[in-house]
Structure 1
């Protein structure tokens, strides 16, 4: 596993979602937006996938996965590549479930505040309608790619 710096951990924790890439049965890329529940210095990343769709099926066949997030304003981003496994909900540690619940509560609060200031962006509150997680994806990071242009990196 590849250790993650505090900078990378904080970067991903600030993202409301990340793009998860897997390989389908034909070897083509499949991309989906997923929430990061938790990310640890030792290179483990806990992802929530609520709908048992293509990402789930792809990972059952092939454990290769990448997580990509960018901050357009700061011209910064990372791609984490590695292997993933699917863990059923009865095997998920309670602190991970609690972290997910806290993240959803925070997102709902942020959405409500944004709706008050900017007007409602969606006719419903999607977070309230999310199903309870049946499983979680645990990724072990094997490679880190810094997506920032070389000439814009600090200290260069």
Structure 2
């Protein structure tokens, strides 16, 4: 079990999404974008998944998971490796669902502001059309990989 520094926690909380990778039955990687819901310094990360698709099927058979987040502008990123368990939607606390709803609202607001300042992105607000979460992924981090190249200052 790896503890997470405040720097890593802050970095991950500021990402709009992360790439979650699981292992298919034929041992090939499967990657999908997911949103962070909660994280703590003990190395526990919680993500909500809106669909019971490939990620869900893979986690039922193989708990190994990695989460990758990068900030291209800062040339910084992390890959967190560990094991995950599935928590069915009916067992997800109302506090977690509320946090997810607040994140969706924030993303819609950010998109509206960005569309006003810059070239418009998506014609609609895709976040507003998202279904309710189908289940939660609870991950315990076992390894932290700093993706920032070693020759670049980490200031």
Q: Aligning the two structures, in what range does the TM-score lie when normalised by the shorter sequence? A: over 0.9
Equivalence for 1:33: 33
Task: Work out the CA distance in 2 between the residues paired with 1:42 and 1:86.
Answer: 19
What residue number does 1:140 align with? 140
Give the CA RMSD over aligned residues.
1.3
Could you tell which deviates more after superposition, 111-120 or 126-135? 111-120
Structure 2 regions of 5+ residues with no counterpart?
A: none
Look up the match of 1:70. Answer: 70
Distance in structure 2 (CA, Å) of the matches to 1:129 and 1:30:
24
The structural deviation recorded for 1:110 is 0.5
After TM superposition, give the deviation of residue 153 of structure 1 in Å. Answer: 3.9
Q: Secondary structure at the match of 2:151?
A: helix
In the other structure, the counterpart of 2:79 is: 79
Are the structure 2 counterparts of residues 119 and 154 from structure 1 closer, same or farther at C-alpha, using a change threshold of 3 Å? closer
Count of matched residue pairs: 155
Task: Map 1:75-154 to 2 at 5 A.
Answer: 75-154=75-154
C-alpha displacement of 1:75: 1.6
Matched, 1:53 2:68: no
Task: Point out 4+ residue stretches in structure 1 off by more than 6 angstroms.
Answer: none
Partners of 2:138 and 2:85 in 1: CA distance: 5
Question: When the two structures are superposed, what TM-score results if normalisation uses the length of structure 1?
Answer: 0.94
Q: Distance in 2 between matches of 1:42 and 1:94?
A: 22
TM-score, normalised to structure 2, is 0.95
